[in-house]
Amino acid sequence: ETGVTQTPRHLVMGMTNKKSLKCEQHLGHNAMYWYKQSAKKPLELMFVYNFKEQTENNSVPSRFSPECPNSSHLFLHLHTLQPEDSALYLCASSPEGQGAYNEQFFGPGTRLTVL
């Protein structure tokens, strides 16, 4: 158990649907991250929140909208997705958002399929 939970674990949605992914960390960390993992590609950083402020948006399309209401919770709101957005979406947290001590701990991921 890593202390980072994600719901749902699996999600199938149509291109016109709106859904949200949720991440919660119980580690007392101050930074949270969204990553996308597609087949045959390295993990791609999507967003970073440090002390609830977004500090990184890695050129992610606007159909992905993050929300961080507090340091323990992170959401990824999805709308009008494309089939190529199908992937494993991983959430992570770390004590701080930068520096040598930002060891990241990952959740189990949400397997998203866009039809």
Partner 1 sequence: KQEVTQIPAALSVPEGENLVLNCSFTDSAIYNLQWFRQDPGKGLTSLLLIQSSQREQTSGRLNASLDKSSGRSTLYIAASQPGDSATYLCAVTPGANNLFFGTGTRLTVIP
Asked if residue 59 binds partner 1 (CB under 8 A), the reply is no
d(CA 83, CA 17): 12
CB of 16 to partner 1, least distance (A): 27
Please give the size of the binding site for partner 1, defined by CB under 8 A. 30
Nearest CB to partner 1, comparing residues 81 and 97: 97
Torsion sign (Cα): 7, 70, 98, 96: negative
CB 43 within 8 A of CB 91: no
CB count, 10 Å around CB of 51? 11
d(CA 64, CA 18): 10
CB of 105 to partner 1, least distance (A): 6
Q: Segment near partner 1 (CB under 8 A), from 48-56, 60-68, 69-77, 78-86?
A: 48-56
- How many CA atoms within 13 Å lie on the side-chain side of 35? 18
Asked if residue 100 binds partner 1 (CB under 8 A), the reply is yes
Structure tokens at 42: 């390295």
Asked if residue 75 binds partner 1 (CB under 8 A), the reply is no
Asked if residue 30 binds partner 1 (CB under 8 A), the reply is no
Q: Which residues bind partner 1 (CB under 8 A)?
A: 2, 4, 6, 31, 33, 40-43, 45, 48, 50, 55-56, 88, 90, 92, 97-100, 102-109, 111
